[in-house]
């Protein structure tokens, strides 16, 4: 079993601000940092730091992308299928983080939107039945990637983030694992409460595993036979960037190690708690041993 993540890589320009800007406002930031990020890169790092061997496929710019490949290599992510493109900038973002750690993100796709069908075909020719494909929504050609993966029997893990109107036109019936928050779940199924949303997602995608995080209210898992819930671990929030990516990577890592759904939720919730207590995207993603120590301290 192999895991391939076809996803974005961004340079995150992160500004610490008093409050998130409103239209027409000019505001001085009181700190700026540059981090490696991108939902794809963050999820590959989370999987790798949780102990899973992962291949990252995608595209970066030759002029500015080295820092992105370096951070993945340093955590042991396989970059055989990462393409370097001339004369195109890597994906990048402007992130505002306010005093309470909440953020807002402006994304410029750059090289992330230059994925070609030939690149996808060649990459997926190295994967087959019973392998796993991780996808988010920051690269182009997602419908083609899903079609090809499905034909090959590769299991699809979809985190439809950032959510947009195109998500509903994807072949969602091919998805084996949905990892969503309540905002991403809303366009996929109806429901006025967390449980209604979860019920309706499960009814709509009866053969899928559904994992739904609901911010400070915790996280749910549902499939046809089982339903589980785990609360958040209460920590001081510094920066919520990449908390969802960390959750996705650690949940899937535990699942692939055949832990129970409740154990997966617990492991992923602990990893996200550590992530939100630190600044930055990839920089905030913990190591497996740090998550294990965090959980051990709670029970001692």
Q: What are the C-alpha distances in Å from 270 to residues 65, 157, 210, 277?
A: 31, 21, 19, 11
96 scored as a contact of ligand RIB (CB under 6 A): no
Among 59, 90, 208, 241, binds ligand RIB (CB under 6 A): 241
Strand bridging mode 132-135 / 10-16: unpaired
What is the nearest approach in angstroms of ligand RIB to the Cβ of residue 74? 17
Tell me the CA distances in angstroms from 279 to 15, 92, 123, 243, 284, one per residue in order: 11, 17, 33, 11, 6
For CA atoms 7, 146, 143, 88, the dihedral sign is positive
Query: Exposed/middle/buried for 263, CB within 10 Å: 0-12, 13-18, 19+?
Result: middle
239 binds ligand RIB (CB under 6 A): no
Query: Rule CB under 6 A: is residue 105 a binding residue for ligand RIB?
Result: yes
How near is the Cβ of 10 to ligand RIB at its closest, in Å? Answer: 3
For ligand RIB, which stretch binds (CB under 6 A), given 57-65, 127-135, 241-249, 253-261?
Answer: 241-249
Burial class, 248, CB count within 10 angstroms (exposed 0-12 / middle 13-18 / buried 19+): buried
β-sheet bridge partners, residue 5: 56, 134
| 40: its two tokens | 């794809």
Ranked by CB distance to ligand RIB, the top (closest) residue is 37
Q: Candidates 138, 184, 194, 239: give the one binding ligand RIB (CB under 6 A).
A: 138
Binding of residue 163 to ligand RIB (CB under 6 A): no
The yes or no reply on residue 65 touching ligand RIB (CB under 6 A) is no
Among 107, 115, 185, 275, binds ligand RIB (CB under 6 A): 107
The residue assigned the tokens 């439809």 is: 160
Site string for ligand RIB, 5-44 (x = CB under 6 A): ---x-x-x------------------------xxx--x--
Tell me the C-alpha distance between 28 and 103, whole Å. 16
**Alpha helices in 93-214, H assignment, sequence order:** 117-124, 142-152, 182-185, 194-204
> Does residue 56 interact with ligand RIB by CB under 6 A?
no
Name the one residue in this structure whose structure tokens are 């050609």: 141
Residue of 5, 69, 93, 213 that binds ligand RIB (CB under 6 A)? 93
Q: Record the tokens describing residue 2, joined without a space.
A: 């192999």
Size of the site for ligand RIB (CB under 6 A): 16
Q: How many CB atoms lie within 10 A of CB 217?
A: 12
CB closer to ligand RIB out of 12 and 131: 12
Q: Which stretch binds ligand RIB (CB under 6 A): 176-184, 205-213, 239-247, 270-278?
A: 239-247
Interface pick for ligand RIB out of 134, 252, 281, 291 (rule CB under 6 A): 281
- Report the nearest approach of ligand RIB to the CB of residue 192 (Å): 26
**What residues make contact with ligand RIB under the rule CB under 6 A?**
8, 10, 12, 37-39, 42, 93, 105, 107, 138, 241-242, 244-245, 281
């Amino acid at each position: 079993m192999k895991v391939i993540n076809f996803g974005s890589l961004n340079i995150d320009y992160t500004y610490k601000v008093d409050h998130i800007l409103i239209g027409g406002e000019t505001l001085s930031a009181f700190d700026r940092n540059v981090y490696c990020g991108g939902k794809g890169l963050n999820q590959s790092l989370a999987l790798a730091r949780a102990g899973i061997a992962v291949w990252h496929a995608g595209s970066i710019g030759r002029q500015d992308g080295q820092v992105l490949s370096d951070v993945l290599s340093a955590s042991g992510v396989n970059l055989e299928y990462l393409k370097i493109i001339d004369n195109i900038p890597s994906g990048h973002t402007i992130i505002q983080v306010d005093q309470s750690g909440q953020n807002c993100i402006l994304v410029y796709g750059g090289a992330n939107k230059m994925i070609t069908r030939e690149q996808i075909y060649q990459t997926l020719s190295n994967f087959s039945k019973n392998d796993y494909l991780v996808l988010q929504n920051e690269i182009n050609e997602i419908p083609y990637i899903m079609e090809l993966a499905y034909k090959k029997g590769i299991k699809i893990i979809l985190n439809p983030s950032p959510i947009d109107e195109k998500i509903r036109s994807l072949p969602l019936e091919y998805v084996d694992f949905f990892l969503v928050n309540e905002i991403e779940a809303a366009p996929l199924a109806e429901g006025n409460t967390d449980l209604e949303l979860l019920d309706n997602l499960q009814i709509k995608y009866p053969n899928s595993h559904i994992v739904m995080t609901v911010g400070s209210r915790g996280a749910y898992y549902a499939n046809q036979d089982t339903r589980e819930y785990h609360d958040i671990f209460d920590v001081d929030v510094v920066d919520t960037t990449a908390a969802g990516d960390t959750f996705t990577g650690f949940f899937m890592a535990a699942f692939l190690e055949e832990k129970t759904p409740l154990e997966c939720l617990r492991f992923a919730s602990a990893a996200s708690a550590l992530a939100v207590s630190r600044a930055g995207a990839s920089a905030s993603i913990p190591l497996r041993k740090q998550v294990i120590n965090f959980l051990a301290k709670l029970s001692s």
